[in-house]
């Protein structure tokens, strides 16, 4: 579940938009294809970790260590720099997401305050919570929060599926796609609405990064592997873990994409929760669930960057200490 936790997050909200861009059939096929590639990558990383642990005289505890063992110091430093940049962007995006999903809920409690003030307070409060969670020493400490994150996403998935079945988007449902700070389903009379195929080649290309990055959990896998039980680190165990993680993410994400697009059609937003009225109680519960998921996932993005920066600091101190000891 810790690997699943690394993949969950804002991606689930963008999946309906990705399916709107790619079409229901193509979006599903691309998701499955990316899931297969993701699974193969997890196989390779865990196998490489097992080999490195067996052959390296130094402990291999993160992705940077693995690259350093296989490709040398220069490549490892470059990769670790990219990991830090990626993690910084991911953490910022999670804070933005938390501001987006919690502001409509919190503003109902503070009606006299402006939306911008409420949003700033929400982001600051979430940043403090994220900072506290990131103080954990071991990534395995997040295993319980991973279960909470999965359950929280599950509620959003069920809500979208229910809405798609009870109130699907139909031709002629709406002419004005935006009213009262939310978006109605979009299938104008005489125009294509729910489609199996992409909205042109640009639509297909637009869907690829949304689908691909939603499955990103590979950097964290190198940190999860050393803390896995011995029985799961054997070839059969680690392969089952990889398959199970990808399948679980697919089971959550593909229905989200299909049902969200089926519910809102061409009005589907990049953040599916923006399609719901701010007065919708179920949507508020879903916003809270997504916020819980984001809070649980935030440290998963932070851990690899922290490990890279801490490792660089320790190596620098070791080199300085070695230089001082050799100086007459």
Residue ranges of the chain with per-residue pLDDT less than 50: 175-178
pTM of the full structure? 0.86
Give the model confidence (pLDDT) of 102-119 as tens digits. Answer: 998 898 888 888 889 999
pLDDT at 227: 86
Residue closest to 94 by CA, chosen among 151, 11, 18: 11
pLDDT in tens, 56-79: 988 899 999 999 999 999 999 999
* Residue whose entry in the numeric block shows the structure tokens 């399609």: 275
Report the pLDDT value the prediction gives residue 185, as an integer from 0 to 100: 56
Confidence (pLDDT) at 259: 93
Q: Is the dihedral of CA 164, 166, 171, 176 positive or negative?
A: negative
- pLDDT at position 177 is 47
Q: Which tokens is 271 given?
A: 């953040």
The partner residues of 186 in beta bridges, in order of sequence, read 265
138-178 pLDDT, tens digit per residue, is 877 777 777 788 888 889 899 999 988 888 877 656 544 44
Question: CA–CA separation, 62 vs 65, rounded Å?
Answer: 5
Least Cα distance to 109 among 278, 274, 301, 286 occurs for 278
* No. of helices (H) and no. of strands (E), the chain: 12, 2
């Amino acid at each position: 579940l810790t690997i699943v936790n690394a993949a969950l997050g804002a991606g689930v909200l963008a999946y309906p938009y990705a399916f709107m861009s790619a079409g229901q059939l193509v979006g599903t096929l691309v998701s499955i294809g990316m899931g297969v590639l993701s699974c193969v990558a997890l196989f390779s990383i865990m196998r490489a970790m097992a080999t490195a642990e067996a052959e390296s005289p130094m402990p291999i505890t993160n992705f940077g260590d693995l690259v350093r063992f296989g490709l040398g110091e220069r490549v490892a430093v470059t990769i670790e720099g990219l990991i830090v940049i990626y993690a910084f962007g991911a953490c910022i995006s999670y804070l933005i997401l938390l501001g987006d999903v919690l502001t409509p809920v919190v503003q109902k409690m503070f009606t006299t305050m402006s939306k911008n003030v409420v949003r700033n307070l929400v982001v600051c409060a979430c940043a403090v919570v994220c900072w506290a969670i990131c103080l954990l020493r071991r990534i395995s400490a997040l295993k319980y929060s991973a279960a909470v994150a999965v359950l929280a996403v599950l509620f959003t998935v069920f809500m979208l599926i229910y809405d798609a079945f009870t109130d699907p988007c139909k031709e002629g449902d709406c002419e004005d796609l935006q009213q009262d700070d939310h978006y109605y389903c979009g299938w104008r009379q005489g125009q294509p609405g729910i489609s199996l195929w992409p909205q042109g080649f640009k639509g297909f290309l637009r869907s690829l990064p949304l689908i691909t990055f939603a499955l990103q959990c590979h950097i964290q896998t190198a940190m999860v592997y050393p803390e896995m039980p011995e029985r799961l680190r054997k070839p059969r165990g680690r392969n089952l873990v990889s398959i199970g993680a990808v399948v679980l993410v697919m089971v959550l994400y593909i229905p989200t994409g299909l049902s969200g697009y089926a519910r809102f059609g061409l009005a589907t937003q990049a953040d599916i929760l923006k399609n719901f009225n701010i007065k919708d109680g179920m949507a508020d519960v879903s916003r809270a669930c997504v916020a819980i998921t984001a809070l649980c996932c935030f440290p998963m993005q932070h851990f690899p960057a922290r490990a890279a920066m801490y490792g660089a600091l320790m190596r620098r101190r070791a080199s300085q200490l070695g230089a001082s000891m050799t100086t007459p």
